[in-house]
Chains A and B, each alone.
Chain A
Amino acid sequence: MKTVLVCAAQAPFITGGAEILVSELRANLERRGFRADVASVPFKWYPVSEIVRQALAWRLLDVTESNGTPVDLVIPTKFPTFLVRHPRKVAWLFHQHREAYDLYGTPYCSFTDSAEDRQVRQAIEAMDSASLSECRGIFTISRNVAHRLRQYNGLDGTPLYPPPHHLGRYRRDEYGGYLFYAGRLDRLKRLDLAIDAMKRVRSGARLKIAGTGPLEPELRKQIQGLGVEDRVELVGFVSPDDLVSLYAGCRAAYYAPLNEDYGYVTVESFLSRKPVVTTTDAGGPLEFVSAGETGLVAEPTPEAIAAAVDELWALPEARLREMGEAGFARVRDINWDQVIDKLTEGL
């Protein structure tokens, strides 16, 4: 039985999409007959001066064997796990440390223009380039992640889309009266933009937001401040059954993060045969959403998003169904077997 070690960086007590993905990868490796385990090392990315030292912990580990059992393959996932040394390293890149790359210089970046922070940024870039070059193969969870890797590190990655968590359970019930978002409530998801847009819609559309996160109090305040309590609902954490039902009953999904790596919402919505409203700078979602075919793509302004929502609400159900089916066609082949086949190829 071949052994596979999945390398995960985790902030203790925080579970998000990456952690779920790692656990599903492990489960599917085992389902396919591999002996799999997860090596998880805590990662602290702040203050900026801490990043390199925290990252280098991965370089100091010897994961070539464990208690006499050789490790046949390691699969690093996100920064800084790919710093790990192993003769057979195949990366499935969730994302790099984006603050050193595409988010550098934006309000979403904590790096300053000091000499120390610049040195950290250069070190991250150099470490990423060198350690990813050691890989036998580099797969990325989206074309967007592969594009960044080419742009900043000059390396090629092959997109390999991860299936969503509840694969096989998504369904369509009706095209209801609400837009739906599910995910972590943090700044990069730009839910503030959606709430602002909901103030401006004229169609009577409503927005349901499922999930929790650090931005929840701020969003709640924004909803009250704009007086859109009747249009926007924070439903909080929902069970898997409720999540599937909320997708099944929505008119469309809303998903407009800033340059997202991949974005499960798009795939989950399409598997529920629902169109998606997104923005021109959303990143990963744009690999699936084509304006007018599988959803609507607006400029990232409240006015443009509100107009797109109104446009969607004006469409007949037959047209929504058409978009949903087109979306479904784009994601129906995303499955775990092809992920495992690619990552373990030649093993």
Chain B
Amino acid sequence: MIRTRPNLTINIWSPLPPSPSGIADYVAESLPALARHVELHVIADEPEAVSPALRERFSVSTPADAPNADLAVYHLGNSPPHAYVYRAACARPGVVVLHDWSLHHLVLRETVERGEVSTYLREMRRAHGETGTFVGRQVARALGGELLPALFPLNDRVLEGSLAVVGLTEHVRSRAARRLPGRPVLHLPHHLSLPIDPPPSRDDARRGLGLPPGALLVTAPGLATSSKRLHLAVRAVARLRAAHPSLRLVVAGAAEASLPLDDWVRAAGLGDAFVLTGRLSLEDFERHLCAADVVLSLRFPTHGEISGALVRALGVGRPVLVTSGTPAAEEFPEGIVAPIDPGPREEEELVAVLGRLLEDAALREDMGRLARHHVRAHHGLEEAARRLAAFLEEVASRKEALRREILADRAAEGGLLGFLMEEVRWGARDLGLSRVPLGLEDLLGPLAPGKRG
């Protein structure tokens, strides 16, 4: 076992399997590699619910029992299992690993869904100014649709309160760096983790899953949600079946209960050519990726996330279609993924690109080979752990200075002084100057006599 600094102790705040969060899987995969560099301890909301295999291998405790550590690493995603992580990250500065750029749904759930609408509106104003107040009112009344929460990420509070930020994509890294000039920010490419490695061949995978060996399979991996453009995928596959009668669409995962997948399939006349697998083991999930001829990883709107399934699909050498303009499209060099524009001609573009790939097995192989080579070279799990450990080492060495900077211009929340300071600080944040000490407490303190926090 080689450690960068054996006595660097890290508390990892994250849900772990069998939590429904994909981030739980990500963290579980990374723990063994990271443990080779630092002493780590996991803080889970419900340790007793964590898979026994992980509990045997790693120390897991509740937030209340979190041991002292050199650093806290907060894995944050835009979903309810991360609520306790968000609260801790806001309360005690640590290193935030942002799996999603937008935390809007998480904050919404922590506020509006608990009846605290004004707290949510305050957060929206704090993060996005007057526009935030206006949009927040719409979203709080469930009039915001899918797009508005994606456009207003509500991550400022946690970013500003963090010693350092880790982004799994360059998209997140560059935005975090712009928000926090001078603060340590790391791009840590999403690691590749394959439960079966080397992966099975296409034929072996299909045999193992009972899928027809000669069919053309287009696979959409992961939980089917409204943002994965499956209504278009269903129609596109149905249209392409005229030229490719063996073509099938496989959703390798479960589906959100509210998603009218059956209606879409019926309307498109896809019938038996559509397969919904339900929740899969990680091994079968990988087999489905290996069994595919083309993988769909479309997503709009995006919350700035990158999908672990996408990295796995590329890692097993399959051509993947992604939504252009999203982190998934921007993360890889040209030619690794095929971007589809989410505009008014999305379906036509999907039919054209998918049709081209289905017609040309050699093209699919070439794209897959490029993808596999790139991901194996740049998304290795061990290398990711080594880079993260080195980054944590650097942050730990600057921890006190960073903490002082964070606390220097911060007033207690809730008080009049805090309110006044936030009203001024928003302008600075908007200019990307969130870290510039403004000396506001001295300036505004006299306006809130006796109310300093």
What residues make up the interface of A, taking CB atoms closer than 8 Å to B? Answer: 47, 49-50, 52-53, 56, 59-60, 83, 85, 114-116, 119, 122-123, 126-127, 130-131, 134
Give me 10 A-to-B residue pairs in the complex whose CB atoms sit less than 8 angstroms apart, sorted by A's number.
Answer: A49-B125, A53-B426, A59-B444, A59-B447, A115-B118, A116-B133, A119-B419, A123-B416, A130-B447, A131-B447
8 nearest CB pairs, A to B: A115-B118, A53-B423, A130-B447, A127-B447, A52-B423, A49-B133, A56-B424, A126-B416
* Residues of chain B from 415 to 453 with CB closer than 8 A to chain A in the complex: 416, 419-420, 423-424, 426-427, 443-444, 446-449, 451
Chain A residues whose C-beta falls within 8 Å of the C-beta of B448 in the assembled complex: 126, 130
Question: Residue B121 at the A interface, CB < 8 A?
Answer: yes
Tell which of B118, B416, B444, B447 touches A116, judged by Cβ atoms closer than 8 Å. Answer: B118
Q: How many angstroms between the C-alpha atoms of A122 and B420 in the bound complex?
A: 11
Q: How many angstroms between the C-alpha atoms of A53 and B133 in the bound complex?
A: 14
Q: How many angstroms between the C-alpha atoms of A122 and B451 in the bound complex?
A: 13
Question: Residue B373 at the A interface, CB < 8 A?
Answer: no
Chain B residues whose C-beta falls within 8 Å of the C-beta of A59 in the assembled complex: 424, 443-444, 447
In addition to A53-B427, A116-B125, A126-B416, 5 A-B residue pairs with Cβ atoms within 8 Å of each other are: A59-B424, A115-B118, A123-B420, A131-B447, A134-B446
Q: How many angstroms between the C-alpha atoms of A122 and B419 in the bound complex?
A: 11
Question: Residue B48 at the A interface, CB < 8 A?
Answer: no
Is chain A's interface secondary structure helix, strand, loop, or mixed overall? helix
Task: Type the 1/0 row for B80-122, where 1 means its CB is closer than 8 Å to any CB of A.
Answer: 0000000000000000000000000000000000000010011
Q: In the complex, how many angstroms separate the beta carbon of B150 from the nearest chain A beta carbon?
A: 23
Chain A residues whose C-beta falls within 8 Å of the C-beta of B130 in the assembled complex: 47, 49-50
Q: How many angstroms between the C-alpha atoms of A53 and B420 in the bound complex?
A: 8
Chain A residues whose C-beta falls within 8 Å of the C-beta of B423 in the assembled complex: 52-53, 56
Chain A residues whose C-beta falls within 8 Å of the C-beta of B451 in the assembled complex: 126
Whether A60 contacts B446 in the complex (CB less than 8 A), given A52-B420, A116-B121, A119-B419, comes out as no
Task: Type the 1/0 row for B119-148, where 1 means its CB is closer than 8 Å to any CB of A.
Answer: 001100100001001000000000000000
Q: How many angstroms between the C-alpha atoms of A85 and B442 in the bound complex?
A: 12
The answer to whether B424 touches A53 (Cβ under 8 A) is: yes
The answer to whether A56 touches B419 (Cβ under 8 A) is: no
Q: How many angstroms between the C-alpha atoms of A91 and B121 in the bound complex?
A: 35
Q: In the complex, how many angstroms separate the beta carbon of A278 from the nearest chain B beta carbon?
A: 37
Chain B residues whose C-beta falls within 8 Å of the C-beta of A122 in the assembled complex: 416
The answer to whether A114 touches B118 (Cβ under 8 A) is: yes
Chain B residues whose C-beta falls within 8 Å of the C-beta of A52 in the assembled complex: 419-420, 423
In the complex, the chain A residue whose C-beta lies closest to that of B421 is A56
The answer to whether B419 touches A130 (Cβ under 8 A) is: no
In the complex, the chain A residue whose C-beta lies closest to that of B121 is A116
Q: How many angstroms between the C-alpha atoms of A83 and B122 in the bound complex?
A: 24
The answer to whether B419 touches A123 (Cβ under 8 A) is: yes
